[in-house]
Amino acid sequence: MTKMNRRTLLKTGASLGSLAAAGSVIGTPLIAQSRSLKVGSYGGYFENSFKEFVYPEFTAATGITVESVTQPNSADWLVTMQQAVPAGSIPTDISLYGRDSMIKASRIGGLIAPLDISAIPKAENLDSYFVFEGADGPQGVGAMSWFSAMVVNPNEVDTPASWADFWDIEKFEASLGLSNVHSSGLLDITAATFFDGEETMMSNEGILAILDKIRELKPNVTLWWNAESQMEQGMKNGDVIGGQYYLDVANLMAADGFPIKATFPKEGNLQDYGSWCLTAGSEKSSEAAEFMNFSSDPATQALMSRKIGTAPLVDKAMTDLTDEEFNFVSGSPSIKPAYEAYLDNETFIKESWDKMLAES
C-alpha cells in the first residue's frame, strides 16, 4: 500500500500547478490574436442550422469567429445564468431570450447588460417594439420570431376554420395535444377566440373565465405535453390528431411526409419572438454589437427564414423572400402573448391553471 505523506502530496501539487501554468501560457496567445464571440441558441436542429448557415456568414463579414453554446430554451437558461453570472463565469457573450424571459432577466438585474444602440445602426430596420428598453436602457435586440400554430392530421379531420372547432367533442374527443405549461399560449388563444383577447387576460376574473372555457376543452385533450418531442411523437404516432405546435417544425415534418398540417385559423396563431441579449460582465460588447447589427440586416433575416424556419422581424418588402418562402414561416393574423399579465400576475395564473388541469 502506498502511503500518502506531506512530501508526496506537495510534490504532486507542485507538478499539477506547473502543468496548469504551462496550459495557461500556451492558451493565451491564441485568445489574443483573433476576435471571437460565444453565442447561445436553443439546441438541436435550431442551433445546428445557425452553426451551418448563419455564423459562417457572420465570420466572413466581420472576421469574428463564433463559438456556439447550447441553451435548453430561454426560460430554463435563466436558471443557469442566475447561478453562473454571480459566480463570475460567463457561459455566453450573447444569449437568446424570449420576451418574457428577457423582461424577467432585466427585472432580476445583473444578468443582461445595457447595449450601445448607436453601434447597432441596422436595428433601425426592426420595429421599435423589438428593441427592448430595460431599466438601464436598451437591453435586447430582436433576433427572430416564431409562430405556435394550430396543427391537424389532414388524413383524419378537415382543416378547422376556427380555434373554436377544437371544442367540438364530435370531432376531437380525446384526440388533441396541447402544452401543459400555463404560459404556452392556450390562454391567449382562448381569450382571442371567445373573449376580448389581451384585455380579458389582465384581470383575475378574466383569467378564471378563460380557464372555465378551457375546462370544457379537457375531454378533447389526450396529451398535455411537457416537452416538444412528446407532441412530435404524438402527431407521428397518431396518438393525437390536432393541437398547438411550432409552425416551422410542423411544416418541416409535413415536408418529410408526416401527416401534419399547420394552418392559420381566423383568430390567428400565437407569435412570440426571441432577442439577443448581452451577458452582464462580458468583455465582448463591441463584437456583440457587430453580431446584433449583422442579425438585424434584412438579408440575414431572410437567410434565417430560409435555413432555420423563423419568421423575419423586418417587413417582408425589405427582404427577397418569395410568397411561398414567407408563408412557410409566417402568416396572419398573429396573437401576441399577454406578457404583462404573465409577468405581473404570474403566481395566480400558474396556480389557477394547475388547479384547472388537476380537476378530474
Partner 1 sequence: MTIADDIKMAPAAPKTPAKGVTPKAALYAVLSAVMAVFCIVPFILVIVISFGRKVDGAGWVWAFTFDNYQRFFVGILWPDEVTFLYLQQLGYSFYFAIIASVLAVLTALPFTLLLTRLKRRTQAIWLVFILASLSMSEVFIVMGWDILLSNNSGLPKLFQVTGLTQWLKDVGWFQILREMGLANPRNVKFKPSEFATILTMSYLVWPYAVILLYPALSRLDPSLSEAARTMGAGRWTITRTVTLPSIRLPLMGTTLLLFVFLLGSYVSISVFATPDKQTTAVAIYSNIRGSNLDAPFGSAQAVILLISASVCLYFGHLLNSKAEAR
Q: Are strands 221-225 and 176-179 parallel, antiparallel or unpaired?
A: parallel
| Cα–Cα distance, 131 to 115 (Å, whole number) | 10
Give the one residue of 52, 173, 199, 320 binding partner 1; rule: CB under 8 A. 173
For cell 454571480, what's the residue? 86
36 contributes a contact to partner 1 by CB under 8 A: no
Least distance CB 239 / partner 1 (angstroms) = 5
Question: Which are the contacts of 198, defined by CB distance < 8 A and separation ≥ 6?
Answer: 188, 191, 336, 338, 341
215 contributes a contact to partner 1 by CB under 8 A: no
73 contributes a contact to partner 1 by CB under 8 A: yes
Question: HSE (CB half, 13 Å, CA atoms) of 88?
Answer: 0
Nearest to 36 by CA among 280, 277, 290: 290
Listed ranges 116-124, 169-177, 278-286, 320-328: which one lies at the site for partner 1 (CB under 8 A):
169-177
Read off φ and ψ for residue 164, nearest 5 degrees: -60, -25
> Using CB under 8 A, which residues numbered 176 to 195 contact partner 1?
180-183
76 contributes a contact to partner 1 by CB under 8 A: yes
3-state secondary structure of 257: coil
Whether omega for the bond prior to residue 333 falls within 30 degrees of 0, making it cis, is: yes
70 contributes a contact to partner 1 by CB under 8 A: no
| Cα–Cα distance, 166 to 177 (Å, whole number) | 11
343 contributes a contact to partner 1 by CB under 8 A: yes
7 contributes a contact to partner 1 by CB under 8 A: no
Q: Which is nearer to partner 1, 21 or 174 (CB)?
A: 174
355 contributes a contact to partner 1 by CB under 8 A: yes
199 contributes a contact to partner 1 by CB under 8 A: no
Nearest to 153 by CA among 302, 46, 260, 77: 260
Least distance CB 213 / partner 1 (angstroms) = 17
3-state secondary structure of 299: helix
Q: Which is nearer to partner 1, 35 or 218 (CB)?
A: 218
Largest CA distance in the chain: 81
Q: Which is nearer to partner 1, 307 or 350 (CB)?
A: 350
Least distance CB 108 / partner 1 (angstroms) = 5
- Count the site residues for partner 1 by CB under 8 A: 50
Site string for partner 1, 224-253 (x = CB under 8 A): x-x---x--xx-xxxx--------------
Distances (CA, A) of 201 to 2, 78, 187, 191, 350: 70, 25, 8, 7, 13
Task: Give me 333's grid cell.
Answer: 393574423
Task: Give me 313's grid cell.
Answer: 422581424
Residues 130, 131, 136, 139, CA torsion sign: positive
| Cα–Cα distance, 357 to 351 (Å, whole number) | 10
Least distance CB 40 / partner 1 (angstroms) = 13
Nearest to 45 by CA among 190, 202, 228, 273: 228
Q: Which is nearer to partner 1, 294 or 353 (CB)?
A: 353
> Using CB under 8 A, which residues numbered 108 to 167 contact partner 1?
108, 156
Q: Which is nearer to partner 1, 41 or 125 (CB)?
A: 41
Listed ranges 27-35, 69-77, 141-149, 265-273: which one lies at the site for partner 1 (CB under 8 A):
69-77
103 contributes a contact to partner 1 by CB under 8 A: yes
275 contributes a contact to partner 1 by CB under 8 A: no
Give the one residue of 41, 49, 74, 125 binding partner 1; rule: CB under 8 A. 74
8 A C-beta contact, residue 211 and residue 352: yes
Least distance CB 94 / partner 1 (angstroms) = 18
The residues binding partner 1 (CB under 8 A) are 3-5, 73-79, 82, 101, 103-104, 107-108, 156, 173-175, 180-183, 222-224, 226, 230, 233-234, 236-239, 342-348, 350-351, 354-355, 357-360
